Amino acid sequence: MFFHFVKPRKYWYLISLLIIIPGIISLLFRGLNLGIDFTGGSLIEVEFQREVTVQEVRTVLAEYGLERSVIQLSGDRQVLLRTPVITQEQNSALVKALDEQLGGHTVLRNDAVGPVIGKELTQRAILALVIASVAMVVYITWRFEFRQGIAAVVALLHDALVTLSLFSLFWLPVDSAFVAAILTVLGYSINATIVIFDRIRETRKTAKKTEPLEDIIHRCLWQTLARSVNTALTVLFMLVALYFLGGTTLKAFVLALIIGITSGTYSSIFISSQVWLDLSNKLPKTKRPASAEA
């Protein structure tokens, strides 16, 4: 155990801040590349009878003032279009023009989403994150102690901010599936953190009273390292395969999971326990309920 996880913790915090701070700046000044689930618009997926290019499709869209629409190729013949809000007549005319000018196609999907749904999704997403964070603090306080609950939520916010930051910095599309990905990441991350906290609690019972807390944490992190890394890798292998083989519509969702789970593994090893240690040095211990001790 030559490598110490806890003593250089300021460097782990710095690595996270190097991603989060530029991401927050990007979020404040540019925001997120919100999809039609949040802004309203049309989602059209077509399969052409021949190979087409993004420029050919954009030329047709420009005739209707939609040249800024998002165009994604899936293979050589499938195209996914995300346009601003257009009328049913404009939608029909656009689909007809694509068919006539680009050699015929089959419409795979043609959906319209209004901005009211987008506002509702945003409110529910924020509410879900707040409720999940509060519930986790309450549970961890009951199961362990309040300071560990705060440390766990800090790690969760870290994972959410890293994912949001990278999506904002690289202007990746955000839709309703992205919200599901964030919630999934939070559930994965809190599970990995609780496993480590549980090992720390059990180790402290048998550790020498003179052993520094940072050395106990370091020892527990080494003991759970294989489990944390192996679990993350098995999930990431599946997600990477799904990213390349799952189709265009799943890419943003799967990419959010890949980023979030990678960040969650990092935070459970390098952030949560270290934050708890710093809180332990500054905040008085909160006694856990007798039911939790039992």
Domain positions in the chain: 9-33+117-293, 41-113
Q: How far apart are CA 129 and CA 139, in angstroms?
A: 15
| Mean pLDDT, all residues of the chain | 87
The correct answer on CATH 1.20.1640.10 for the domain covering 9-33+117-293 is yes
1.10.1240.10, 3.40.640.10, 3.90.400.10, 3.30.70.3400: CATH of 41-113 = 3.30.70.3400
| Distance from C-alpha of 13 to C-alpha of 224, rounded to nearest angstrom | 21
Residues 219, 1 contacting (CB under 8 angstroms) = yes
pLDDT for 115-166, tens place per residue? 656 677 778 878 877 888 888 888 888 888 899 999 999 999 999 999 999 9
* Residue 75, Ramachandran bin (φ over 0: left; ψ between -120 and 50: alpha; else beta): left
- The pLDDT of residue 289: 46
Cα R_g (the chain), whole angstroms: 24
- Per-residue pLDDT tens for 122-135? 788 788 778 888 88
Tell me the pLDDT tens digit for each residue of 11-46.
999 999 999 999 999 999 999 988 777 777 888 899
Run of H or E residues at 104 = none
DSSP annotation of 152 reads H
Tell me, what DSSP letter sits at residue 288? Answer: P
pLDDT higher at 250 or 285: 250
This prediction's pTM? 0.80
